[in-house]
Every structure is written in C-alpha cells, then in structure tokens.
Amino acid sequence: MYGPSFQNLPAGGYGSADTRKGAALNARASGGRKRLNVTAMCVATLLPWFIFVLAAALRCSELAYRNPDLCNVVVSAIGSLLVIYAAIMVALSIRARMVGDVSSDEPSWFTFVAVTMLINLIVACFIGQGIFVSYTRPFHDVDNLNEYHAVDPMTMRGQELMDAGKVTFAPGTIIDLKRAMSFKNVDSYCVAPITGPGRQPLSSYDFFAVGKNCCDGDYGDSSVVNFRCGAYDSATAAGGIRLVEDSERAWYRLAIQQAESAYGIKANHPLFFTWVENADQGLEQERQDAYRIFLGLVFIDFFVQSGLVLLTSGIFSRYYKTPRV
C-alpha cells in the first residue's frame, strides 16, 4: 500500500504527549538556540516597570497624605491582583508539567513577569514611603500652616506664631552664629538663635535656625560650634521654613538646653526653622527635590528591569534550545 507508514511511531501514537516531549528533548540535543521572543521581552520590561512607577507614585503622592486609607486600598488591590496572577501562572506551569506539555520544559516569560511585578511592587512601596516621609508629608504639613511676614525676633515671641509654617523675617534679621550649639545622638542636631541687628541680647530666644549634620563640635568637646546649616552665609536670607518632624524636635530642644546653659540665655517657646533665602521658594525647592529623586529612581528601576530581562533571555537562549532550520 502506498502512503506513510505509522508502524515505527512511538507507543504513545502520533501527536501524543510522549511524542511531543521526545521531540523537545531531541531538539535540545541538536544544539540549536532558542529564538528571542522580542514581544515577550518588551512586556517583561515595561509591565513590571509600570507597576513600580504606579505603586511608588501612589505611596508618595498627595493622595497618600489627604486620604491614606484610599491609597492603601488601591495599593493592596494591585498587590492582590498580582498575587492571584502569579498563583495562576504557577498552577498552569505545574499542570503543564503533569500532562507532559512540551512547553513546560522551557521557562515561562509569564512566570518571570509575575515574579518581577511582585518584587517591583514591594520595592516601590518602600521607596514611595521613604519619599513620603522625607518630602511629601513635611511639605504639606508646612503648606497647611499659616504664613507670616515681617516677623521681628526682637519684639515677637514664639507663642504668637505657634501655627507658623513659612516665615519672612524683618529686614536686618540674622543668625547669631556665636551662640550656636549642637547635640549629638548618632546625628548632630545643630541650632543657632535667629536675632535682630547687632545681636542684641533678648529676654527669650524663641526663633532658631536648625539643621542636621551641618555643624562642627558639641558642648562636650568645645563651647564653639561652627554652624553651617541652610543659607547661614547669605547676607540676604530672611526666610524660615518650619520644622514639623516630631521625631527630631526633641533632639533640637536638647541642643537648645545646652545653649541655654553654655551662653546664659533663655528660650521659653522655641520654634525651629530651616534658614533659607525665601520661604516660598525654599518650600517649592523641597518639592522639586522630591520629584527629582522620584524620577531618578524610576529610571534606575527601568535599567535594572531591562538588565534582568536581558540576563533572563540569555539564560533561556543558552539552556533551552529549538531545532536548527
């Protein structure tokens, strides 16, 4: 009889799982390299990166400040969907291996995407929270407070400006660098009184320029502290941005207590400010710094994800072969 003969086919029969699996093993042994799946590589690069950008943006956004519960719900929903997607991919991979599907012998880009999306989500949440704590929350805390102009430290007291966020001091206001002090607790918490022309003694020094790790010396080593925080060396600086971080105020208060003891001064109601040229511009600069940090981290994540995709595609190409044509 003419026509193809099937007498020598494997016991599994034409098109069976055993036949397909054996063909795959023979293909690997033949030494041909697997062709790169450009579409899969693009998806594996962009989708996890998009998850990183979205999650990080949410965690450090104004939404996280105004409505943190809603932000947490959105991020949690994204995380839940990714976990479900990853579980489905793993289940499909296990099922494929159980039925002897030839594709189960090769790594799946879907599994790679699922794993890297979860990793990007977790990393983005930590990074976004860091930006939120360092920049977003302090910015909005200060922006929500009142703004005062022509504040004269010679005549005004701290209790009059308890709700101050941004302050423009009266002309001639300077930092009294000779009465600077620091308190060291791992970091150095530096303070210097804000006073009027001529550094005339005040009954109470209630306005202080502050900064962290920007001064030399401390009360235990020397009575002279070199204060180099903010616009300390500018003759035209007259702005103050209120320090609102609760965790740091206690350390600055201890530095002031050391200054009271060292210089024989009083600070009945001290308020802490970052000394800047202009309060409005200084606060806006902090927001721009947050944007730059965020964009920098977004680009870093893109390059890291791209590197992982290239590395993985190289591994796929080297260890998992298809027949040469």
User: What count of residues does the chain have?
Assistant: 325
Asked if 113 and 47 count as a contact pair (C-beta separation under 8 A), the reply is yes
The model carries a pTM of 0.77
Residue 114 corresponds to which amino acid? A
Task: Kindly state the average pLDDT of the residues 45-50.
Answer: 94
Domain locations in the chain as residue ranges? 17-143+286-319, 147-277
Which residue has better confidence, 313 or 304? 304
Determine the pLDDT at residue 317.
Answer: 74
Give the CA distances from residue 160 to residues 140, 184, 224, in Å, rounded to whole numbers and listed in that order: 22, 30, 31
Report which DSSP code applies to 10: -
Burial class (CB in 10 A: 0-12, 13-18, 19+), 129: middle
Give the CA distances from residue 74 to residues 49, 54, 70, 295, in Å, rounded to whole numbers and listed in that order: 18, 10, 6, 22
Residues paired with 189 in a beta bridge: 183, 212
Could you please report the per-residue DSSP string of 90-120? HHHHHHHHHHT-GGGGS--HHHHHHHHHHHH
User: Residue 306: which residues within 8 A CB-CB, separation 6 or more?
Assistant: 45
Determine the pLDDT at residue 306.
Answer: 95
Task: Kindly state the average pLDDT of the residues 62-75.
Answer: 93
pLDDT digit string, tens, across residues 72-108: 999 999 999 988 888 887 777 777 667 765 554 445 7
Q: What percent of the chain has pLDDT over 70?
A: 81
Beta strands in the chain (DSSP E): 146-151, 164-169, 174-175, 181-185, 187-195, 207-212, 215-216, 226-227, 239-242, 271-276
Please state whether beta strands 207-212 and 271-276 pair in parallel, antiparallel, or not at all (unpaired). Answer: parallel
Identify which of 149, 192, 190 has the alpha carbon closest to the alpha carbon of residue 167: 149
pLDDT bucket at 4, cuts 50 / 70 / 90? very low
Distance (Å, whole) CA 130 – CA 127: 5
Determine the pLDDT at residue 163.
Answer: 92
The pLDDT of residue 294 is above 90:
yes
Residue 159 corresponds to which amino acid? Q
pLDDT bucket at 59, cuts 50 / 70 / 90? very high
User: Residue 221: which residues within 8 A CB-CB, separation 6 or more?
Assistant: none
pLDDT bucket at 202, cuts 50 / 70 / 90? confident
